Amino acid sequence: MNKRGYLVSCYYGGGGGIVAGVYEICFWGNKGASLDLSAFKNIRLDQVLFNETAGCFIVEVSRQQYAQVSFDTITHTVIGTTTEKQSLNVVADGKQLFDVDLQELQQAWQKPMQEIFN
């Protein structure tokens, strides 16, 4: 897949779940993300966002149609897109769950360690 230049980033499904993985992709790629979790039925959305899922990957491709081409024989779900807006926006079934600034997330992530080591 990456020989064709399709792959932008990839994150395994552990270490905090989808939301942590998407945050890290955004942080290191200096982008935001807009996620739509409407495809997840019969499961609590907090489990979708925060469960660590072994064997799953969050993959960012350079164009959405590349996901269909690259994963045509692999079970996958398109959950969103990266954005230039520096926020993590999550919706499900037409309802916004949250839209948080990435700087705010970074500060919350760093605060406990700053309190210990400063």
83-111 mean pLDDT: 93
pTM of the model: 0.82
Please report the domains of the chain, with CATH numbers, ordered by start residue. Answer: 2-117 (3.90.650.10)
Reading the block at residue 91, the tokens are 């919706």
Cα separation, 27 vs 105, in Å, equals 10
| Confidence check: pLDDT of 41 > 80 | yes
Extended strands (E) in the chain: 7-12, 32-36, 57-61, 80-83, 87-92, 95-101
- With a pLDDT cut of 70, the percent of the chain lying above it is 96
**Which residues, at least 6 apart from 89, have a Cβ–Cβ distance to it below 8 Å?**
32, 33, 34, 35, 83, 96, 98, 99
